[in-house]
Amino acid sequence: MEDDIIRLSVSEAAKFFGLEQRTIRRALKNSEISYVIVRGRYRISFKSLLSWSQGKSTVKNKLATKGIGRYVEKWKITNVRFSPNPALLKKENNDSPVAGKS
């Protein structure tokens, strides 16, 4: 499905990943990230950008500390009833009385 592709500009990619624009441009120049040119501007494939970022530890760390990753902790749901976290669900199930346990 070609319509499902998310594309970012160089500046959007840099902000999202917590990087300098020149880092993104260097990766484009080295053909490490797939892109198309629309009206003379790079439009970077998000999927390609994410794969590239996970293969480089410095980029991966910046994503977590300076990019979108710094907000992930705030997204976590603390109410067990609404949390998709399996550890919390397991904890809730272990709190119920089990036959044979005292």
Q: List, for residues 7-20, the tens digit of each pLDDT value.
A: 999 999 999 999 99
- Evaluate whether 58 touches 66 at the Cβ level (below 8 Å): no
DSSP state of 99: T
User: For residue 84, what pLDDT is reported?
Assistant: 59
User: For residue 91, what pLDDT is reported?
Assistant: 60
Whole-number Å distance between alpha carbons of 11 and 56: 19
**CB within 8 Å of 14: residues ≥ 6 apart:** 20, 21, 23, 24
Q: Is 7 helix (H, G, I), strand (E, B) or coil?
A: strand
| Residue % of the chain over a pLDDT of 70 | 68
pLDDT tens-digit readout, 39-75: 999 999 999 998 998 888 888 888 888 888 887 776 6
Q: In which residue are the tokens 């904890």 written?
A: 91
User: For residue 102, what pLDDT is reported?
Assistant: 44
Domain 2-71 has CATH 1.10.1060: no
